[in-house]
A and B are shown apart, each in its own frame.
Chain A
Amino acid sequence: MALVNIDQVHKYYGDLHVLKGIDLKIDAGEVVSIIGRSGSGKSTLLRCMNGLEAYQHGGIVVDNKEVSSDEKQVRLLARSVGMVFQSFNLFPHLTVGENIMLAPKLVLKLSSKEARALAEDKLDKVGLAEKIDEYPDCLSGGQQQRVAIARALAMSPKVLLCDEITSALDPELVGEVLRVLEQLASEGMTLVLVTHEMNFARDVGDRVVFMHMGKVWESGPAKEVFENPTTPELKSFINAVL
């Protein structure tokens, strides 16, 4: 069974039908980029994968756990699914280290010493070991986003969901975050990215899913999709963004 199984998922916001029967399977170790115009439902789909958004029909199973927006289920899923947001969402009153240690201590019940070692290890991975005792305010956007990635990794997720994580960054800071993702991909981490970084999707991603009007409009191996788009919608989208 695939790591992520999305089966005929429909979602409505009131009368608005935002996801119209999504089917998607993602295997462990895959790097999948979800692209599409704004309003096509890509962020919503991502947020359905860990229960942040409820869906009305169909089913999602991640790491053999049924996904729902039920409070307890979201907490259970947190051990399998990590998430990084566009706006970093570091906790401003905690140091970088405390941000990373919070969930391992409270949820995984690690001791302070174990949690600290874990934080050091994950920060080292994103190249920010020396920032462990700084507050998020003192960091650049790119650094904050790398800390957010380290924070998510500290829960040892099976899959990392990235919701436009470079969109809020100054152009010169995008590279440092993408390099971290690239490294994670090379280590076999399963990544699902909603992204506007088409070069990254093409060069690092295994698969590209193009969403349009709440449906998976076209999908396939990354290079193929970019070189030979079959639908006119994807052709015009690629022309517009590349």
Chain B
Amino acid sequence: MLNFSDLLPYSDLLLQGLWVTVVLTFYATLGGVAIGTACAAGRHYGGKVLRGAIGSYVELIRNTPFIVQLFFIFFGLPAIGIKLSAWEAGLLAMLINLGAYSTEIIRAGLAATPKAQVEAARVLGLSPHQVFFRVVLIPAFEKIYPALTSQCIIVMLGSAVVSQISVMDLTYAANLIQSRSFRSFEAYLVVAVMYLLFAIFMRQTFEWVGRRLFRHRRVST
């Protein structure tokens, strides 16, 4: 009864969809973690106004559904003259989303860095900027690395929603294939396995990067 061979003609579509998901995830992870790092630093060291602004951003994103954020960016923003392509809107939504969640994760890492480490760096004459990038940041990331890895994978999996604004990602490909071939079971099963494999690949990539970043201690998740 099951027939996977019916999917064969669509293999290119699946691979293209996977590629879109991979590229979106790649940019969203790099950009989102950068936003999260900047916001975490702002929330940890900044003044009252900055801390308040970042706190509002984080709470706004963490307490609303991703799909609503996505629809607001893609369907809502054009009303005030900001028109983005589906791909741009999808990426922006992922960036903003991961940025907010990773802000809180990275902030926990910054807060867990012993104050004495900072003092040791200051009395050696390092500037605040140097203290942050050379002394605080890497140990902070080390502490929260497993949580950050999971959050990036969650955002990758959540990116399936961008198919709803016609970004031709992996889920979009699955929808298309099942509507043409009527092989829903097979199409979604294959795509689910592809997501699973990609998620495992991501975790391993993070671990590989972690081993290089935190050389002094083997990171195990």
Contacts and interface: CB of A to CB of B under 8 A. Distances in A.
Interface in B125-145: 125-128, 130, 134-135, 138-139, 142
A129 interface: no
Contacts of A50: 123
Interface string A83-106: 101010111110100000011001
Interface stretch (A11-19, A28-36, A73-81, A222-230): A73-81
B124 A93 contact: no
A83 B134 CA distance: 19
Contacts of A142: none
Contact of B142 (A52, A89, A93, A103): A93
Contact of B128 (A71, A90, A92, A107): A71
Contact of B120 (A75, A79, A89, A107): A89
A36 B119 CA distance: 24
Contacts of B135: 91, 102
A89 B217 CA distance: 17
Nearest to A100: B124
A214 interface: no
Contacts of B138: 93
B214 A93 contact: yes
Interface in B86-128: 114, 116-117, 119-128
Contacts of A137: 216-217
Contact of A92 (B125, B130, B139): B139
Given A78-B124, A155-B124, A155-B125, A89 B134 contact: no
A102 B124 contact: yes
A151 interface: yes
A89 B124 CA distance: 12
A107 B125 contact: yes
Nearest to B123: A83
Nearest to A148: B120
Counting contact residues on chain B (CB < 8 A from A), the size range is 20 to 34
Contacts of A83: 120, 123
Interface residues of A, number: 29
B172 to A, nearest CB: 41
Contacts of B114: 87, 89
Contact of A106 (B123, B134, B139, B214): B134
Contacts of A151: 124
A41 interface: no
B65 to A, nearest CB: 38
A217 interface: no
B116 A107 contact: no
A49 to B, nearest CB: 10
B123 A78 contact: yes
A93 B139 contact: yes
Contacts of A82: 123
Q: Which of A82, A85, A91, A93 has the most CB of B within 10 A?
A: A93
B48 interface: no
Given A89-B114, A135-B216, A136-B216, A107 B124 contact: yes
Contact of A85 (B116, B127, B139, B217): B116
Given A93-B216, A136-B216, A87 B116 contact: yes
Contacts of B117: 89, 91
Nearest to A137: B216
Nearest to A75: B125
A82 B123 CA distance: 7
Contacts of A93: 138-139, 142, 214-216
Contacts of A81: 123
Interface of A: 50, 52, 71, 74-75, 78-79, 81-83, 85, 87, 89-93, 95, 102-103, 106-107, 135-137, 148, 151-152, 155
* A-B pairs with lowest CB-CB distance, top 5: A78-B125, A135-B216, A89-B120, A103-B124, A107-B125
Given A85-B120, A152-B124, 9 more contacts: A74-B123, A89-B114, A89-B119, A92-B139, A92-B217, A103-B124, A106-B130, A106-B134, A135-B217
7 contacts: A75-B125, A78-B125, A89-B114, A91-B135, A91-B139, A107-B124, A135-B215
